Amino acid sequence: SEFDRIIAINLRGVYLCMKHELRQLLAQGDGGTIVNLASTNAFRPQPNQAAYTASKHGVLGLTRQAAMDYAARGIRINAICPGTIETPMVTDMIAKGELSVPDAVANQPIGRLGRSDEIAAAVLWLASPASSLVTGVALPVDGGYTAR
């Protein structure tokens, strides 16, 4: 049941959002941009996170497939893959003892956790004309975590 819950939220949720976003973008007829959120787990799985990792792999598959299917219609579709970001979810993981700040920081070559505004800046760039040739990309925003 936990696997089904995680897949329903992380993968089916993205699929359903894209379904309606694409319907609207196609109706408008002037292209557009979709930015999905995946995770660095899609590149580097973590112990005991099979459902989460599978869901994020699925998000990348949906992103890449849709990017191929809709590029000719002027719709760009990409994904952001955040590393460990200071969010309520991470705060909760720390409180439960599932994650320690020193371990999380040690895994990020930049030497600190990410901030939500840094993820927002990457999303804004992907949604802007400055990234007009970018589609089907999974962009890690992770302080160098996936570069290791």
Model confidence over 25-44: pLDDT tens digits? Answer: 999 999 999 999 999 999 98
Would you name the residues annotated as active-site residues?
52
What element of type H or E holds 79?
strand 75-82
Q: What is the pLDDT of residue 103?
A: 87
Q: What is the pLDDT of residue 45?
A: 85
Model confidence over 95-120: pLDDT tens digits? Answer: 999 888 898 888 889 999 999 999 99
Task: Name which of 85, 87, 94, 92 is nearest 122 in CA terms.
Answer: 85
What element of type H or E holds 96?
none
Which residue has tokens 């320690």? 100
Angle between helices 13-28 and 50-70 in degrees, nearest 10: 10
Q: Would you say 74 and 100 are in contact if contact means Cβ atoms under 8 Å apart?
A: no
